[in-house]
Amino acid sequence: MTDAATQTRPQAEKTAQITIVEALNRAFVDAMEADEKVLLLGEDVADPEDGGVVGISKGLSTRFGNHRVRSTPIAEQAIVGAAIGASLIGYRPVAEIMLMNFSTVAMDMIVNHAAKLRFMSGGQTGVPITIRMMTGSGIASGGQHSDYLEAWFSHVAGLKVVAPSTPEDAYGLLRACIDDPDPCIFIENLLLYGSKGPAPQAGHKVEIGKAAIRREGSDLTIVSYSRLAVEAQAAAARLAEDGISAEVIDLRSIQPWDKEAVLASVAKTGRLLVVHEATKPFGAGAEIAATVNHELFGRLKAPVHRLGGAFCAVPFSRPLETAFAPDAARIVDAAKSLCA
């Protein structure tokens, strides 16, 4: 497994810390420098519109021109459709959909077209686009600005789905998605945008479908991604204090997901806890749990356990929102029950 976290870095860069916003911006700069076919389109992405609502594309239209970095109308079907069309003739468009919930407006373009054109055309065409979308509960955005819909996208044959949790992975996965010949859904967490981590080396790429082992352990495996992979690491630190050794796997890619890494880990630990912010029923955790149950039946020391968002719309009121999603404390409790 290529594990970005364990790769050696020059000493000078090792100390440099950047945010995910900065990492994504760097990924765009480097990708657009490397390949003139790389484009960015979406609401507010150009500099006259402040380079995106959180500034990820700041400076790009000034540097690469308004023809390559284009602010669009608030029209998600038009955005994804334009990305698909340009990709059919050699371009590598990145479409920014702003909030993940807004992708629902563009589902026809994503599901019926981007995902299926390669198959339906018998391989004559392909749709090498990246669709970026941000989401996450925790900032009082309520029911239509916070959803994790990765299971929907992962359920459609033809889409790849990634969700980085560190600046290095944000950079490396965005570069990988832009280079990828297939449509990629790139999920960004709102709360993680400002979190810092080691700066990626220029040109660093994370292979889609490869997980990162964030922490090694022997008593149970915790599998997560996006913000809750960070919570899982905090939980593992607390568990260690209580003498429970948790291995934490950050999937990074949900479709395809790193089955080998998860199975190898659970074969070792015998216990699996899957954690995600998306509502639990029919979530990505179900697929992982079913696979582990099928492959490791008889070798599990406890039933696979899942933690997910409550089965309701993401609520607004602070105590409700806090109760909605799993956090480190709930991961600790669940892990202890599993190991009891």
Cβ of residue 99: shortest distance to other proteins, in angstroms?
18
Closest Cα partner for 13 from 196, 198, 145, 147?
198
Q: What are phi and psi of 73, to 5 degrees?
A: -65, 165
Site for other proteins in 246-285 (CB under 8 A): 256, 259
Options 120, 139, 312, 320; binder of other proteins; rule CB under 8 A:
120
Site map for other proteins, 45-74, x if CB under 8 A? ----------------------xx-x-xx-
Q: Which residues pair with 39 in a beta bridge?
A: 93
Does residue 34 interact with other proteins by CB under 8 A?
no
Let me know: does 273 contact 235? Beta carbons within 8 Å: no
Residue 145 bears catalytic tag? yes
Among 1, 48, 139, 181, binds other proteins (CB under 8 A): 181
Between CA 108 and CA 116 the distance in angstroms is: 11
**Closest CB to other proteins among 155 and 330?**
155
Q: Which of 29, 34, 78, 313 binds other proteins (CB under 8 A)?
A: 78
CA-to-CA dists, residue 11 to 5, 6, 133, 201, angstroms: 15, 14, 33, 12
Contacting range for other proteins; rule: CB under 8 A; set: 11-19, 20-28, 152-160, 315-323: 152-160
- Number of amino acids touching other proteins (CB under 8 A): 44
Indicate the residue among 138 and 209 with the shorter CB distance to other proteins. Answer: 209
36 vs 333, which CB is nearer to other proteins?
A: 36
Looking at 22, 43, 76, 188, which residue is catalytic? 76
- Angle at Cα 130 formed by Cα 126 and Cα 134, nearest 5°? 150
CB of 192 to other proteins, least distance (A): 27
Report the alpha-carbon distance of residue 123 to residue 119 in Å, rounded. Answer: 6
Q: Given the residues 43, 96, 113, 145, select the one marked as catalytic.
A: 145
Least Cβ distance, residue 102 to other proteins (angstroms)? 13
Q: Which stretch binds other proteins (CB under 8 A): 13-21, 85-93, 275-283, 326-334?
A: 85-93
84 binds other proteins (CB under 8 A): yes
CB of 94 to other proteins, least distance (A): 13
Question: Within a 10 A sphere around the Cβ of 210, how many other Cβ atoms?
Answer: 20
Is 231 a known active-site residue? no
- Of 8, 10, 11, 90, the residue at the interface with other proteins (CB under 8 A) is 90
The answer to whether residue 109 forms part of the interface with other proteins (CB under 8 A) is yes
* CA–CA separation, 123 and 160 (whole Å): 17
Q: Is there binding between residue 83 and other proteins (CB under 8 A)? A: yes
Supply the minimum distance, in Å, between the C-beta of residue 75 and other proteins: 4
Q: Give me the active site residues, please.
A: 76, 145
Question: Which residues sit at the interface with other proteins, rule CB under 8 A?
Answer: 39, 67-68, 70, 72-73, 75, 77-78, 80-91, 93, 108-109, 112-113, 117-126, 157-158, 160, 181-182, 209, 256, 259
